[in-house]
Amino acid sequence: MLEIKALNVAYGRVQVLFDVSISVPEGELVTVIGANGAGKTTLLLTVSGVLRPQSGEISFEGEGIDSLRPHEIVGRGLGHVPQGKELFPAMTVLENLEMGAHMVKEEDEYRRRLERAFEFFPRLSERARQRAGTLSGGEQQMLAIARALMAEPRLLLLDEPSAGLAPIIVDHLAEIILDLNRHGLTVLLVEQNAFLALEIARRAYVMESGRVVESGDTRDVLESDLVRRAYLGI
Amino acid sequence: MSWDVIGQQLWNGLLNGSIYVIFAAGLSLVFGVMRVINMAHGELTMLGAMLLFTVTDLVGLAYFPGAALVVLVMALAGFLVNRVTVRPFLGHSELVVILSTVALSFVLLNGSLVVWGSGPKGVEKPFNEIVQVGGVYITTAGLLLVGVCFAAVMGLYLMLTHTKLGKKTRATGQNLLGARLIGINTTAIYDTTLIVASGLAALAGVLIVLVSSATPNLGQPLLITGFAVVIVAGMGNVAGAVAVGLFMGVTEALFGQFVSTYYRQGYLYVVMIIVLLLRPQGLFGRK
């Protein structure tokens, strides 16, 4: 569904990604793990069209998207929950969700999507009239995911959803991500928290200093010396 | 002191304050949505006034169709302001955008001096009866000015809070990356923001001529006052700019009457400095 081939990305003269190739088949939950600064966020921002690659190809459902602008890429069915959530803090939870579905014209369709979002995240319906900026960290993360889902993407990019959250909330989030995947959503999950990522993903890529250094079935990646040493501490 | 004098100054303050409100609302909108300080906002108002003089006095249009035409043309010019002086410089230091709009301001000001000369130009008003209310003299043209200002600001408020375009505009102002990642075309939002702001600036210009005359030099002092209003209200807070614009207009008039005409504009800046010392984020701003 998403094919990234030999991607090179630079900020000015500093190159951040080197020949990164990643494949996300339809219906799967693929993870990219790596330390801070490995280039994971850069990778996702390039897929979304916020950053422009120096070279390489990105195709989504068989069509090249590397020259499209972010709103066109979202329009193709690709959602992105960024690191740091990037909510609209002075707007209510409801308004944030409404913005997520801004391309929906029919009121009935909007209602249906809203109900679905509240089914996945009942907590958000309790907080509907509250300003997004006043939510707890876990609730903000849920709102960020729910906002992206309002566009009904077929592929969701998730950037460090566990960052800064209590372990119990991370577990809850992991369940939600798995549940979304079971409902047919393809997911590319970027994580520093290797435990979480490797627990729920089928395929994994390991990034280091802008390069993919390991990839394969999650079980194989778990077994590799590199990952055991660097991320799991065993 | 007599009540008539106070009443007269309240009315004069309301006239000035209404202009401050509509001027500062546009300035604040651009900053709130784009984080851009538009140093050419005053010149857009000036152009509104000068163009109205041209289309009424030289071309012969009546006030209302002339004003509508000028506001429409200036709104469309807002698109060019964005594409030529703002958008190419976004992503660089904020100082670069400030300088490019300063450059635009100089070009417009000096160009206008060449075209129209520096003398004041009067514009034929649609009606101009003087009504006496109590001991206060009120002009019907002034009433029109106040009414249109409030209708315009109300319209802006309703657009921002109740339309999808307005909500997308606020969302873009609150989080640009967040807006882009949910598929809002933020380039179009920036275009629209400067179109609306430029239209509001020109509207201030065509209203100013109802109570005074058009001159190429009217933009600069207005920009200075506009900044005082926007900073006291809290940068980017449009609703706050409305309240502070009115307050500044009225208290400035009273200050001019009872304290010193000479230090009238200084008064606004003293208020600004006091507010900044006590509440650096402005009266209605958030940290």
Convert the pLDDT of each residue in A100-126 to its tens digit.
Answer: 999 999 999 999 999 999 999 999 999
Report the alpha-carbon distance of residue A147 to residue A97 in Å, rounded: 5
Inspect the interface and report whether the beta carbons of A88 and B170 lie closer than 8 Å.
Answer: yes
Confirm or reject contact between A91 and chain B (CB < 8 A).
Answer: yes
- In terms of Cα–Cα distance, which of B181, B210, B202 is closest to B16? B210
Chain B residues in contact with A48 by the CB 8 A cut-off are 180-181
Q: Using alpha carbons, list the distances in angstroms from residue A187 to A25, A152, A156, A182, A201.
A: 9, 13, 5, 10, 9
Q: Where are the domains of chain B?
A: 3-278
Query: Is the Cβ pair A82, B181 closer than 8 Å?
Result: yes
pLDDT at B27: 94
Structure tokens at A35: 């330390």
CB pair distance less than 8 Å for A86 and B177? yes
Inter-CA distances, B264 with B225, B255, B257, B260, Å: 11, 7, 9, 6
Q: What are phi and psi of B238, to 5 degrees?
A: -70, -45
CB contact under 8 A, B187 and A91: no
> Cβ contact (<8 Å) for A48 and B181?
yes
Q: Is the confidence at residue B251, as pLDDT, over 90? A: yes
Question: CA distances (Å), A175 to each of A20, A200, B149, B207, B275, in order?
Answer: 29, 9, 54, 60, 50
CB atoms within 10 A of CB A102: 22
Alpha-carbon distance of B144 to B146, in angstroms, equals 6
Residue range B124-151: average pLDDT? 90
Q: Please tell me what DSSP assigns to residue A92.
A: B
CA distance A15 to A131: 39
Mean pLDDT of chain B: 93
Residue A154 has pLDDT above 60, yes or no: yes
Q: Is residue A113 less than 8 Å (CB to CB) from chain B? A: no
Instruction: Give me the mean pLDDT over the A213-218 stretch.
Output: 87
pLDDT-derived band at B1 (thresholds 50, 70, 90) equals low
Cα-to-chain-centroid distance, residue B97:
19
The answer, for A134 touching chain B at a CB cutoff of 8 Å, is: no
Query: Which pLDDT band holds residue B287 (cuts at 50, 70, 90)?
Result: low
- Specify the range with the lowest mean pLDDT, choosing from A208-212, B22-26, B227-231, B258-262: B258-262
pLDDT tens string B79-120: 999 999 999 999 888 899 999 999 999 999 999 999 999 999
Does B255 have pLDDT greater than 80?
A: yes
Give the residue among B258, B233, B276 at the shortest CA–CA distance from B23: B233
Task: State whether residue A29 is helix, strand or coil.
Answer: strand
Q: Which domains can be identified in chain A, with CATH numbers?
A: 2-77+153-232 (3.40.50.300), 87-152 (no CATH)
Q: Do A89 and B170 touch (CB under 8 A)?
A: no
Give the chain B residue nearest A72 (alpha carbons).
Answer: B183
* pLDDT classification of A7: cutoffs 50, 70, 90: very high
Give contacts of B164 with chain A, Cβ < 8 Å: 102
Smallest Cα distance from A230 to chain B, Å = 32
Neighbours of A54 (CB within 10 A): 11
Asked if the Cβ–Cβ distance from A102 to B286 is below 8 Å, we say: no
Q: Could you read off the pLDDT of B164-214 as tens digits, one per residue?
A: 999 999 999 999 999 999 999 999 999 999 999 999 999 999 999 999 999
Q: Is the sign of the CA dihedral B268, B269, B275, B278 positive or negative?
A: negative
Count of alpha carbons within 13 angstroms of residue B27, beta-carbon side = 36
pLDDT exceeds 80 at position B18: yes
Quote the CA–CA distance of A195 and A205 in Å, as a whole number. 14
Cross-chain CB nearest to A86 (options B170, B181, B286): B181
Mean pLDDT of A77-104: 95
**pLDDT tens, residue by residue, A132-142:** 999 999 999 99
What pLDDT sits at residue A85? 93
Q: Compute the nearest-CA separation of B43 from chain A (Å).
A: 32
For the cut 90, the answer to whether the pLDDT of residue A226 exceeds it is: no
pTM attached to this predicted model: 0.91
- pLDDT at site B185: 97
pLDDT at res. A54: 93
Q: Please tell me if residue A115 touches chain B, with a CB cutoff of 8 Å.
A: no
At B285 the pLDDT is 78
CB of A77 less than 8 A from some CB of B: no
A211-217 vs B136-139, strand pairing mode: unpaired
Residue pair B141/B128 in contact (Cβ under 8 Å)? The answer is: yes
Place of tokens 């300088």: B99
pLDDT digits (tens, 9 = 90+) for A178-189: 999 999 999 999
Per-residue model confidence as pLDDT tens digits over B25-50: 999 999 999 999 999 999 999 999 99
Averaged pLDDT of chain A: 91
Write the DSSP symbol of residue B187.
H
**Which residue's entry shows tokens 């509440």?**
B279
Between CA A75 and CA B183 the distance in angstroms is 7
The predicted structure's pLDDT at residue A228 = 67
CB contact under 8 A, B286 and A151: no
Confidence label for A195 from pLDDT (cuts 50, 70 and 90)? confident
Q: Which helix (H) or strand (E) holds B131?
A: strand B130-133
CA distance A31 to A189: 5
Task: Pick A82's closest partner by Cβ from B177, B186, B286.
Answer: B177
What pLDDT is attached to residue B128? Answer: 82
In Å, the largest CA–CA distance within chain A is 53
Residue A100 contacts B, CB cutoff 8 Å: yes
Give the domain B3-278 fold: ABC transporter involved in vitamin B12 uptake, BtuC (1.10.3470)
